[in-house]
Amino acid sequence: MTVANAPVLVSDAAESSTRRHSPSGPATRRPLRGLVKYLGLTPFAVYVILFLAIPTTIAVVSGFFTDDGAFTFDNVLGLFAPNVLATFGSSFWVSAVTAIVGAVVGALVCYALLGTRADGPLRSFIDSASSVLAQFGGVMLAFAFIAAIGSQGLITLLLKDQFGIDIFANGVWLYQVQGLLPVYIYFQVPLMIITFMPALSGLKLQWAEANATLGGTRFTYWTKIAFPVLAPSFFGSLLLLFANAFSSYATAAALISQGAQIVPLQIRAALVSETVLGRENMAGALALGMVIVMVVVMWGYSVLQNRTSRWQK
Amino acid sequence: MSRPGASDNSVAVRMGTEPSRTVRWIILGVVGLVFCIPIVAMLLFSFKAGLAGGLTLDHWAGLFDEDAARTYRNLFTGIGNSLLLAVVTVGIVLVVLLPTMILVHLQFPKLQRTLEFICIIPITVPAIVLVVGLAPVYSIVVRIAGGSVWTLAFAYGITVLPYAYRAIQSNLDAVDVVTLSEAGRTLSANWGRILWFVLLPNLKRGVLAASFISVAVVLGEFTIASLLNRTNLQTALLQVSQSDPYVAVIFALLALAFAFILLISIGRIGRTRTGTSS
């Protein structure tokens, strides 16, 4: 922790020392003083309170109330109903599988990019393509996969006509939870490339030279040096990918029009019908459950991220 | 530039820190190919003549039909709404977020951490959660500002906060804003002049990147619009896809190409800037 905070402390110290030696003296040093200065913060504060703090609070707290405003644990206990637990289970499953596959494939691509010039055309193309594809999730991505592996899709027909393989022999799984796997992986890999590349390019050639000088092999380089250095960043990115899949709604909504197989779709059902499990404000309880998972995952991410920053620069 | 052989550093390859040329192109080739499939499938689909097969330009030509404006009215409304929302959202970023970030950077260095924390909250509170709480908020917004679609930009301003923040902050960190504005003060410029003539030109790169990424995010937004029953590009696309999937796919391709151009230009802005300054 102290190491991670060091640069901040140093820059603070530097700042205060320049202030002290400022030639203009204390009277004119801070031209915006008192209330005026704080007034400048109000537009942002008001905006964030109205459209971030209040909605988040309503979303998280409304699960504890009935429509009449009476306090109840009913909705929150509803989270432990078997079918709701099952949706959380599927959400976990989809997020974990796509995060792991996305992280491994993304890390491979990052590895393949080592040794290319950071400002060269290949890297900047892959950077831009990754930012587009990481944002690509949603209705358009669903279209793309229906066109590719839908029941009349390009790949489906190709496999069937040329190789006699029917990928939907056991039913059309694209519009079920399993169908989300390839689709989510499509935006997970680019996100991994964006988040993991800085850590991987932070590996220094000198470390490999030191390893070679001390009689180490390629194997010891990767297991004793590169892996320990990269591990926090890798697992941090993995958690980010998990959170990304867990909170993703649009793609699933476009693919799965009926039912509530994962948590975001259950929230949709609760918002639209208002009576999931015969409970009011169930959407609030589900939102609370989701926020708890997200807070835990993102907390883990920031802890790992802090460890990562020790090795960069 | 100084190391012409850097792209094929044989020492690094031998020591295992970099992949060899063959390994690199196998990985990039396979992953690239797999990632091209859905896009190519979309492209081919837009030329497909019904289930029987065969290729046709009809679906693309249909867009320029005389009655296209009527047939796809909903879609064009969605596009119009999304563009309007993109403009208003960028406005919120420039008028609300940017001045606050500069102010905090100059006058409240201790609030830096707090501001960063606030700006990344929307990652932890995803749109599908936010929308649960936005529904009651918007029932009040509609009463005050009316039900017009642009009000949705208030919610989108929150959605783009993490992206816009990161873009502007990396620029703020790279430029010595404190010294610049103190220099301006010493030369007796007022804050308005410093902001306009000194700070903004230096922050142009971050501001442009923040605007572009905001536009890209807004054009792709579905969750909030759909669950608050508003029409934007994405909800209209989903609706059109039920009656005319070809047109839906064509517009999805166009939107994708547009987003790609936007994000490529973010990269360009970054590079030309570093190129000229060094």
Instruction: Write out A76-112 in H/E/C secondary structure.
Output: HHHCCCHHHHHHHHHHHHHHHHHHHHHHHHHHHHHHH
Cβ contact A201:A137 at 8 Å: no
Task: Tell me if residue B214 falls in helix, strand or coil.
Answer: helix
Integer angstrom CA distances of residue B133 from A55, A150, A251:
4, 35, 21
> CB distance B222–A128 less than 8 Å?
no
pLDDT of residue B251: 87
Q: Which residues of B touch A268 (CB under 8 A)?
A: 128, 227
Provide the pLDDT for residue B159. Answer: 92
Average pLDDT over residues A67-79: 77
Question: Cβ–Cβ of B256/A132 closer than 8 Å?
Answer: yes
* Residue A150 backbone zone (phi > 0: left; psi -120 to 50: alpha; other: beta): beta
Q: What is the pLDDT of residues A166-176, one digit of tens each?
A: 777 777 777 88
Selecting from B44, B121, B255 the residue whose C-beta is nearest the C-beta of A154 gives B44
CB pairs under 8 A between A and B: 270
Amino acid type, A155: I
Please give the pLDDT value at position A107.
92
N residues, chain A: 313
What pLDDT, on the 0 to 100 scale, is given for residue A218?
81
Interchain contact, B18 vs A115, CB within 8 Å: yes
Q: Say yes or no: A227 contacts chain B, CB-CB below 8 A.
A: no
* CA distances (Å), origin A39, targets A233, B104, B251, B262: 39, 12, 45, 35
- pLDDT of the residue at A278: 54
Tell me if A64 sits within 8 A of A76, measured CB to CB. yes
- Whole-number pLDDT of residue A21: 43
CA distance A182 to B80: 32
Per-residue pLDDT, A135: 78
Residue entry with tokens 């913060």: A41
Quickly name the fold that domain B68-277 has.
MetI-like fold (1.10.3720)
* Confidence label for B154 from pLDDT (cuts 50, 70 and 90): very high
Q: Is A36 on the interface with B (CB under 8 A)?
A: no
DSSP B34-103: HHHHHHHHHHHHTTB-TTT--B-SHHHHGGGSTTHHHHTHHHHHHHHHHHHHHHHHHHHIIIIIHHHHHH
More confident: A258 or B66: A258
Q: Mind telling me how many Å the CA of A1 is from chain B's nearest CA?
A: 15
Q: Is B12 on the interface with A (CB under 8 A)?
A: yes
What are the tens digits of pLDDT across the range A20-43? 444 444 444 455 566 777 888 899
pLDDT digits over B14-38, tens only? 666 778 888 888 999 999 999 988 8
Model confidence at A161, pLDDT cuts 50, 70, 90, reads confident
pLDDT at residue A261, rounded to an integer: 83
Tokens (6 digits) for B8: 């094929």
Cα B20 to Cα A144, B13, B24, B112: the distances in Å are: 33, 6, 6, 43
Say if the Cβ atoms of A47 and B31 lie within 8 Å.
no
Q: Measure Cα distances from A66 to A81, A266, A280 in Å.
A: 18, 19, 6
- The confidence score (pLDDT) of residue B76 equals 86
Higher pLDDT, A311 or B153: B153
Give residue A88's pLDDT.
92
Please report how many Cα atoms fall inside a 13 Å half-sphere around the Cα of residue A50, on the Cβ side. 15
Which chain A residues are closer than 8 Å to B99 by Cβ? Answer: 40, 43-44
Say yes or no to pLDDT of B208 above 50.
yes
User: What residues pair up with A71 in beta bridges, in sequence order?
Assistant: A65
Residues near B130 by Cβ (< 8 Å), separated by ≥ 6? A52, A55, A56, A59, B122, B155, B158, B159, B224
Sequential DSSP letters for A246-286: HT--HHHHHH--SS--SHHHHHHHHHHHS-GGG-TTHHHHH
ipTM over 0.90: no
Residues A139, B264: C-beta atoms closer than 8 Å:
no
* The residue type at B135: A
Which residues, numbered 79 to 98 in chain B, qualify as contacts with chain A under a Cβ-Cβ cut-off of 8 Å?
Answer: 92, 95-97
**In terms of pLDDT, which residue wins out, A235 or B263?**
A235
Among the partner residues B41, B178, B260, nearest to A144 by beta-carbon distance: B41
Contact list in A for residue B7 (CB cut-off 8 A) is 115-117, 120
H helices, E strands: number in chain A: 17, 0
Residue A8 pLDDT exceeds 60: no
Strands (E), A138-254: none
Q: What stretches of chain B show up as alpha helix (H) in DSSP?
A: 10-15, 21-45, 58-61, 68-71, 73-92, 98-107, 112-124, 127-145, 152-159, 161-174, 177-186, 191-193, 200-202, 204-220, 223-227, 233-243, 245-277
Contact at CB, B234 and A138, closer than 8 angstroms: yes
- What value, to the nearest 5°, has the Cα angle with vertex B16 and ends B11 and B22? 85
Q: Which residues pair with A65 in a beta bridge?
A: A71
Contact (Cβ atoms closer than 8 angstroms) between residue B147 and residue B212: no
Residues 161-180 of chain A with CB under 8 A from chain B are: none
pLDDT surpasses 60 at A5 = no
CA distance B267 to A123: 10
B67: distance to nearest CA of chain A, Å?
25
The widest CA-to-CA distance across chain B, in whole angstroms, is 76
Closest partner residue to B41 (CB to CB) among A43, A131, A148 is: A148
Task: Read off the DSSP letter of residue A63.
Answer: G
Radius of gyration for the alpha carbons in chain B, expressed in angstroms and rounded? 24
Considering only CB atoms, which chain A residues are within 8 Å of B8?
115
Is A132 an 8 Å CB contact of chain B? yes
A65 three-class SS: strand
Res A293: pLDDT: 92
How far is A248 from A246, CA to CA, in rounded Å?
6
The two tokens of residue B51 are 């289930």
Helix, coil or strand: residue A71: strand
Distance (Å, whole) CA B267 – CA B269? 6
Would you tell me which residues 255-294 of chain A have a C-beta closer than 8 angstroms to some C-beta of chain B?
Answer: 264, 267-268, 271, 283-284, 286-287, 290-291, 294
Q: With bands split at pLDDT 50, 70 and 90, how would you rate the model's confidence at B276?
A: very low
Amino acid A255: pLDDT:
87
- In tens, the pLDDT along B86-112 reads 999 999 999 999 999 998 988 888 888
B 238-267 → A contacts, CB under 8 A: 238, 241, 245, 248-249, 252, 255-256, 259-260, 263-264, 266-267
The residues with which B55 forms a beta bridge, in sequence order, are: B48
Domain residue spans of chain B: 4-45, 68-277
Domains in chain A, start-ordered, CATH in brackets?
A: 30-59 (no CATH), 73-309 (1.10.3720.10)
CA atoms of A283 and A186, how far apart (whole Å) = 28
Name which of B111, B121, B128 is nearest A264 (Cβ-Cβ). Answer: B128
Contact A145 B38 (CB under 8 A): yes
Q: What percent of chain B has pLDDT over 90?
A: 17
Nearest to A99 by CA among A29, A196, A166: A196
